[in-house]
Amino acid sequence: MDIETGAFAGLLGRSPAMERLRRDVAQLGPSELRVHVCGETGTGKENVARALHALSPRARRRFVPVNVAGFNDELLASELFGHARGAFTGAVAAREGYVVEAEGGTLFVDEVAEMSALAQVRLLRFLQEGEYQRVGETCSRKADVRVISATNVDLAQRVREGHFRMDLWYRLKVDRIVVPPLRERGDDVLLLARHFLRRQAEGRGEPAPGLTRRAAESLARYHWPGNVRELEGEMQRLAVRVCGRAVTLEDLSPEVRGPGRAPAGGLQAALQRLEVDLVRGALERHRGILSQAAAELGITRQSLWAKVRRLGLVVDGM
C-alpha cells in the first residue's frame, strides 16, 4: 500500500506499530462499522478517521469533523443537529447542523469523553434510531451518516467511574483502533522530522534542511509528550530559524535538546522554567482546555490547575 499519497498520506511511518495501524485501517475502512479511535493527544486520530473515510464507499461525500469539547449542551445540539428560526436568542434564521453536512458521508466526533450526560443521551438516540431533532422543533429527521469517534482518555475507565454511558460506549466502539504514541514508533521520529522539514521548505521554495548527528540523536531520544503534533510544531519552528542550513543540537528547543551544562540560576530554576514551558505549551496547543492539556501532560485536571496557579500562568477564559 502507498503510504506517501492517497488514503494513507496522513499515516506516515515504517515502524511495526504503524504497519499494524494501516492494516487495521485497510480492513475497517471499506466497512460501515462505527469505529472508535483512541490514542494520546497529538497522535493523529483525525488522520486515522480521514483514512477510514477515504477507503469507504462514502469517500465521494463529505468528511465532517467536530470537536465536542468546547460546547455547552444547547450549543452542541445546535451545532450537531441544527436549529429552527427563533429556537433561542440570536437564532434569527434556521440552520442546518454538522449531521446534514455529513449526509451520505462521515461524521467524526472528537473528544467524546468531554460530552455532558444530556449530550450523551442525544448522541445515543441518534446512533440508535438514525434520527434527530433540530433545536426548537418537535419533528424527527432522518440521516444517513457513518459516525467515527475519538478520545484521548480511557473511555472504558470513564464508564466504570460512572462518567460515561455504557450503552453509548458500546454503540460507538463497534470496533476500535488504537493509535500508537510517537515514543513507541522508533525510527519514525526521524522519518517524520525530515518529512515535516521537507514540506516546510517546499512551501517556502527553499532546499530542505538536514539534521546533524547530534540533533538527530536528541530528536530520537526525546519522549515527545505531545506526539506527532509536537514534533511537527518543532520542525515548523526550525525550518524558519535555520534558513536552509542543517539543524544543529543548539537549534532544538531546550526540552528536546535535553540536559547540558549547569543553567543560570541552578537546577531548581531550570526545572521551573522547563515546567512553565511544558505547561504553557500544552495549554496553548489545547486552547486553554484544562482536561485536554492535563491528559497530554499525564496529570489530573486538578493537578494542572494547581500548577497554573503556582506558576502564575494565565489561562484563556479564566
Q: What is the CATH number of the domain that holds 306?
A: 1.10.10.60
Sign of the alpha-carbon dihedral angle for 227, 21, 56, 148: negative
Q: Does 187 share its domain with 241?
A: yes
- CA-wise closest residue to 197 among 251, 250, 255: 251
Structural domain of residue 221, as residue ranges?
183-258
pLDDT per residue rounded down to tens, the chain (318 residues): 344 556 788 899 999 999 999 999 999 999 999 999 999 999 999 999 999 999 999 999 999 999 998 788 888 888 888 877 656 666 657 788 899 999 999 999 999 999 999 999 999 999 999 888 887 777 888 999 999 999 999 898 999 999 999 999 999 989 999 999 999 999 999 999 999 999 998 888 888 899 999 999 999 999 999 999 999 999 999 998 888 789 999 999 999 987 654 455 666 676 777 788 888 878 878 878 888 888 888 888 888 888 888 887 776 544
Amino acid at 174: V
- Residue 1 within any structural domain of the chain: no
Provide the pLDDT for residue 287: 79
pLDDT at 264: 54
Residue 244: which CATH number? Answer: 1.10.8.60
Query: From CA 64, how far away is CA 61, in angstroms rounded?
Result: 10
Q: Answer yes or no: do 292 and 249 share one domain.
A: no
Last residue within a domain, chosen from 121, 151, 180: 180
According to the model, what pLDDT value does residue 240 have?
Answer: 87
C-alpha cell at 9: 498520506
Both 296 and 158 in a single domain? Answer: no
pLDDT recorded at residue 164 = 94
Same domain? 104 vs 201? no
pLDDT of residue 262: 46
Kindly state whether residues 53 and 169 are assigned to the same domain.
yes
Same domain? 120 vs 240: no
Where are the alpha helices (H) located in the chain, listed in sequence order? 16-28, 45-54, 73-81, 98-101, 117-129, 155-160, 166-172, 188-204, 213-221, 227-242, 254-257, 266-285, 290-297, 301-311
Do 189 and 147 share a structural domain?
Answer: no
In this prediction, residue 270 carries a pLDDT of: 63
Q: Which of 258, 275, 301 is the last residue of a domain?
A: 258
**Tally of domains in the chain:** 3
pTM for the predicted model, two decimal places: 0.77
Q: What pLDDT shows up at residue 91? A: 66
